[in-house]
C-alpha cells in the first residue's frame, strides 16, 4: 500500500475516532458544570468554576449505591451464566454429532431475529406466574441464555482441529473433560469477546429492568439516573455526572479484555 493511501486511511480513522469520542468528552465536561452552563454556546469545555461536588450529589440525592450494587450483581451473574451456557451449547453444536444438529442450531439462532418487543409480554406473564416478578433473578433467568453467544463460540470452536478432541478421547477423556481441558483453554479470546458483549448489554439495559423491576430497592443504574428527570425539569449536570460514573466499569472491563476482544472477533468469523 502506498504512503498516500496509508495517510488517507489514518486521517479518516482519526476523524472517525474524534467523532466517536466527542460525545464522551462533552459528557465529562457537562458533569462538572451547572445546569445553566451545560447548554451554553459556544461550548466551554473547562468551566471557570468546576462543580466537582456533582459527583458527590449523585450519591446523596438518590440511592445510587443500591442501584450500583444491583447493576454489578446482575451484570456479573448474567455474564458468568451466559458464558457457561453458551460455551456448553456451542461445544455440543460444534463437536458432538447428533441427529438434526444443524437444523436445531439454525432454529435456535433464528430466535435472534425475533424482536424483544414481540416476546416481552409472554415473558412477563411467565415470570409473574413462577413468582419472580420484581426480582433481579427474573432478569438473570431471562438473560442467562444468549443465541448470539452460542453462535459466536460455535464459530470459534469449529476452528479448533477435531484431531485434538479425538486424541484426548483416545487418552480416556469424556466430552466434559475435552470441553474443560482442551476447548475452553484454547477459547479465551472468544470467551473474552462474549464477556464484553454481555457485560455491556446487561450493564446498559434499560427496558428489561423497567419491565420486570418495580421496587426501588431492586432498580439498576439506568433506572436510577432517570430520577434526575422530573415532570417539570431535568438536572442535566447530575445526569452527566451519574453517566460518567456508570460508564467507568464498562471502560475498565474493555481495557482489560481488549486484546482478547480483537483476537476473538478476528477468529470467530464476525468480520467482513
Query: What pLDDT digit, counting tens, does each position of 11-33 carry?
Result: 999 999 889 888 888 898 888 88
Residue pair 71/136 in contact by the 8 Å Cβ criterion: no
Burial (CB < 10 A; 0-12, 13-18, 19+), residue 222, is buried
pLDDT at residue 269, as a whole number: 47
Correct CATH for 58-267 of 3.30.950.10, 1.10.3720.10, 3.40.50.12780, 2.40.160.20? 1.10.3720.10
Q: Per the structure block, which three cell numbers stand in for 233?
A: 425539569
Of 198, 116, 120, give the one whose Cα is nearest residue 152.
198
pLDDT at residue 112, as a whole number: 86
pLDDT at residue 263, as a whole number: 63
Residue pair 179/172 in contact by the 8 Å Cβ criterion: no
Name all contacts of 112-118 with Cβ < 8 Å and 24+ positions apart: 112/147, 112/148, 112/151, 116/207
* DSSP string covering 111-164: GGGS-HHHHHHHHHHHHHHTT-TTSHHHHHHHHS--HHHHHHHHHHHHTS-HHH
Average pLDDT, consecutive stretches of 10 residues, N- to C-terminus, the chain (272 residues): 83 90 89 84 83 88 90 94 92 87 88 85 88 89 90 88 84 84 86 89 90 89 85 78 89 80 56 41
Run of H or E residues at 101: helix 101-110
pLDDT at residue 83, as a whole number: 93
pLDDT at residue 158, as a whole number: 87
Amino acid at each position: 500500500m502506498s504512503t498516500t493511501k496509508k495517510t488517507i486511511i489514518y486521517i479518516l480513522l482519526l476523524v472517525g475516532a474524534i467523532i466517536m469520542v466527542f460525545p464522551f468528552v462533552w459528557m465529562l465536561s457537562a458533569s462538572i458544570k451547572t445546569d445553566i452552563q451545560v447548554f451554553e454556546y459556544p461550548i466551554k469545555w473547562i468551566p471557570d468554576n468546576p462543580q466537582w461536588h456533582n459527583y458527590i450529589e449523585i450519591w446523596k440525592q438518590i440511592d445510587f449505591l443500591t442501584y450500583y450494587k444491583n447493576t454489578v450483581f446482575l451484570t456479573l451473574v448474567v455474564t458468568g451464566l451466559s458464558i457457561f451456557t453458551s460455551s456448553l451449547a456451542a461445544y455440543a453444536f460444534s463437536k458432538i454429532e447428533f441427529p438434526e444438529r444443524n437444523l436445531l442450531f439454525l432454529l435456535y439462532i433464528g430466535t435472534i431475529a425475533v424482536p424483544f418487543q414481540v416476546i416481552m409480554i409472554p415473558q412477563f406473564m411467565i415470570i409473574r406466574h413462577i413468582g419472580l416478578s420484581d426480582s433481579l433473578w427474573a432478569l438473570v433467568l431471562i438473560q442467562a441464555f444468549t443465541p448470539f453467544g452460542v453462535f459466536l463460540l460455535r464459530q470459534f470452536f469449529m476452528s479448533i482441529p477435531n484431531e485434538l478432541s479425538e486424541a484426548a478421547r483416545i487418552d480416556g477423556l469424556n466430552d466434559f473433560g475435552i470441553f474443560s481441558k482442551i476447548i475452553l483453554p484454547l477459547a479465551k479470546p472468544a470467551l473474552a469477546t462474549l464477556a464484553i458483549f454481555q457485560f455491556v448489554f446487561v450493564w446498559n439495559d434499560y427496558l428489561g429492568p423497567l419491565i420486570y423491576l418495580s421496587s426501588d430497592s431492586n432498580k439498576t443504574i439506568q433506572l436510577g439516573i432517570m430520577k434526575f428527570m422530573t415532570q417539570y425539569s431535568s438536572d442535566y449536570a447530575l445526569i452527566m455526572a451519574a453517566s460518567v460514573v456508570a460508564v467507568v466499569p464498562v471502560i475498565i472491563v474493555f481495557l482489560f479484555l481488549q486484546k482478547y476482544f480483537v483476537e476473538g472477533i478476528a477468529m470467530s468469523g464476525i468480520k467482513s
